[in-house]
Structure 1
Amino acid sequence: MPAAFLFDMDGLLLDTERVYLNAFEECGTAFGLKEGQAHTLYLSLVGHSGAESGRRMAAVLEPDISVSAFETRVVELIEAKLAQGMPVRPTVRDTLARLREKGAEMAVVTSTKGDSARSHLEQAGLLDHFQFVLGGDEVSANKPDPAPYREAAARFGFDPKHCAAFEDSDPGVTAAAKAGCLAVQVPDLRPSDRPFAEVGQMFAETLHHAVSLAEDEMARLRASLSV
């Protein structure tokens, strides 16, 4: 078993990317964006920090559209939608419960701000599974930089190569792989014609499958070193 299991949050544990996308599209309509523009823009932001997302939005939105006003309205729409319930991705609850029963060390490594991430996980009933949550405002650099995963592993006292990391986005899985973690990607929202990041990651359709792959691969690697 990996020394620690490190999980992204949005799009991997929480089924929030679709909520965010819907809010983004509603806001795009209100701000007069062209049909499909908000959808395409949002997909380009997935996995990036708030600061990077702001820069990307500023580069695309018309000069007469305030990025700050746009972001504020998106957040209002998201909060209203999530107040109705925090959606969780398939197999997540059972997978985390199984790992917890086995005594696994687990943490969340997300680009979302730490306080918001902990609030969302608590609302979903998942927060107690994790030893800690490391938010995008609590690390020295953001994904796709490897710093978040290196710093999460260090907080546990482990070498990243002994940890497994799970991501849905390309920036996230790039950060995990560059940190030296065993990286597994469970794709969620992404353009169908976009090539995947080639960083040596494994792929899975669900978190349950991803964790099983990581456990098997870590056992294989350790067995090969002991020969």
Structure 2
Amino acid sequence: MTLPAAYLFDMDGLLLDTERLTLAAFLDCAEAFDLETAKMEPFFMSLVGISAARSDEMLLAFLGPDRDAARVVAMWRDRLAARLAEAVPVKPTVRDTLQALTAQGGRMAVVTSTLGDKARHHLDRAGLLSHFQFVLGGDEVSANKPDPAPYREAAERLSLPPSACAAFEDSDYGITAAAAAGCCAVQIPDLRLATQPFPDVGQLFAPTLEQAVAAAQGRFAQAPGGQNAENLG
């Protein structure tokens, strides 16, 4: 059976169940800085999947000129660090799925908007880092999601065309980047507003990583004419 030549994964909200912890830590700041939780939650949803630099810009605009953004960020980071100190939570089916792909000889990498050193640290603490050939962070690419550059550059590091790779994302920014790069893109939605439409970029959908990998493998197996993975487009 034809399989993807490589598997590329987002991290937060896809491998690691960290988005909820990050949101909870942000909401912890409400009382200290006179913020409305009803506005904080939808604002946080708008940050999911974007680069750290863009997130900082949006936070400054959200807080306004009368709040000390540096103090908000410091408190937010402290509250998140306290939660992560207990454990770095992993999403359902992730451990078993990565172990199965490793046993199959699957080539795997992480493509995340999180800073590279931070991402590697979290994956190491979660016991997942050894599955991946490399982790490509948001500070280690030429442009950030939704630009396709992160996925194109990850595929290039593997000496593969993006069309030979399956990519897995929870966020709209991420899935747009993966699809635009030419990967077989599968979206596993995590935190999002109920009224937010999904981008129409030809992606597959799945509720868990296990099912997402099966969907991607099924897509490659159904390629017309028995094409090998390197020729899929």
TM-score normalized with structure 2 length: 0.94
Secondary structure (helix, strand or coil) at the match of 2:79 reads: helix
Which of 208, 217, 224 is matched with 1:206 structurally? 208
Deviation of 1:34 (Å): 1.6
Deviation of 1:26 (Å): 0.7
CA–CA separation in structure 1 for the residues paired with 2:171 and 2:49: 5
Identity of aligned residues (%): 57
Contact 2:17–2:90 (CA under 8 A) maintained in structure 1:
yes
**Runs of at least 5 residues in structure 2 that lack an aligned partner in the other structure:** 229-233
Secondary structure (helix, strand or coil) at the match of 1:111 reads: coil
Query: In the alignment, does 2:134 pair up with 1:132?
Result: yes
Query: In the alignment, does 2:161 pair up with 1:162?
Result: no
Q: Which moved more, 1:169-178 or 1:66-75?
A: 66-75
Q: How many residues align?
A: 226
Partner in structure 2 of residue 110 of structure 1:
112
Which of 84, 101, 122 is matched with 1:99 structurally? 101
Deviation of 1:63 (Å): 1.4
CA–CA separation in structure 1 for the residues paired with 2:88 and 2:190: 17
Which of 116, 120, 123 is matched with 2:125 structurally? 123
Contact 1:6–1:163 (CA under 8 A) maintained in structure 2:
yes
Partner in structure 2 of residue 75 of structure 1:
77
CA–CA separation in structure 1 for the residues paired with 2:121 and 2:19: 16
Spell out, residue by residue over 1:35-73, the C-alpha distance to the aligned partner (whole angstroms, 9 max, x if none).
Answer: 312111111100001111111112221211122222222
Deviation of 1:224 (Å): 5.2
Which of 51, 56, 59 is matched with 2:58 structurally? 56
Query: In the alignment, does 2:193 pair up with 1:191?
Result: yes
Within 5 Å, give how 1:175-186 maps onto structure 2.
175-186=177-188
Contact 2:143–2:150 (CA under 8 A) maintained in structure 1:
yes
Residue 68 of structure 2 aligns to which amino acid in structure 1? S
CA–CA separation in structure 2 for the residues paired with 1:71 and 1:223: 53
Contact 1:54–1:67 (CA under 8 A) maintained in structure 2:
no
**Runs of at least 5 residues in structure 1 that lack an aligned partner in the other structure:** none
CA–CA separation in structure 2 for the residues paired with 1:22 and 1:117: 19
Spell out, residue by residue over 1:63-95, the C-alpha distance to the aligned partner (whole angstroms, 9 max, x if none).
Answer: 111222222221111111100011000000000
Contact 1:12–1:186 (CA under 8 A) maintained in structure 2:
yes
Secondary structure (helix, strand or coil) at the match of 2:75 reads: helix
CA–CA separation in structure 2 for the residues paired with 1:12 and 1:223: 32
